[in-house]
Structure 1
Amino acid sequence: MIDLGSFANAENARRLASAMEGLGTVSVDDVTSGSRTLKRVRLSNLADGMTPEMAVEAAARAGATGAVVRR
C-alpha cells in the first residue's frame, strides 16, 4: 500500500488518482483531520513489474512529493 497524498481540494485528489491509473489499484477515500474532511489517495495491488519505489517516483512526477510506502 502506498499513501500518495491527502488533499483538501477534491479535484487535486482526482487529478493524482487519474495520473496513477494503470500502476495498480487507485482508491480515493474521505479521511477526517481535526474538523476537516480530506481526500486520501492510495495505491495498492501494483501492476506487474511495478515496484513500490517506481510508484513513488511516478507520484512525484505527478506532483505528489509526499508519497509513503506502507508495509
Structure 2
Amino acid sequence: MTNMSDLHLFRVTTLQHEREVVQQLRREANIKRINVSQAAEDIKRFVNQHQPEDFLLMGFPSVKSNPFREKSSCTAL
C-alpha cells in the first residue's frame, strides 16, 4: 500500500500536470487561425518566389558547390 506522503506527492504532480495542460491550451487558443485554402496559397506563393535559390529544384551551379557530392578519393599508384 502507498502511504500518505506518496498519495500527496501524486496529487501535487497531477495538479501540476493539469495546470501545464491548461496553460498550453490557453496558448493554443490564442493562435491566429487561417483557412487551409489560404495556407496552401501562401505556401505555393512562397515556393514560387524562392524557386530560383532552391537547390533541390534548380540543382547546384557547379559540382564543387554541392555539399552532398561524393568525395573523390586519392589513390597512389
Higher-RCO chain (CA-CA 8 Å, sequence separation at least 6): 1
Query: Which structure has more strand as a fraction of its residues?
Result: 1
State TM-score, norm by structure 1: 0.21
Larger radius of gyration: 2
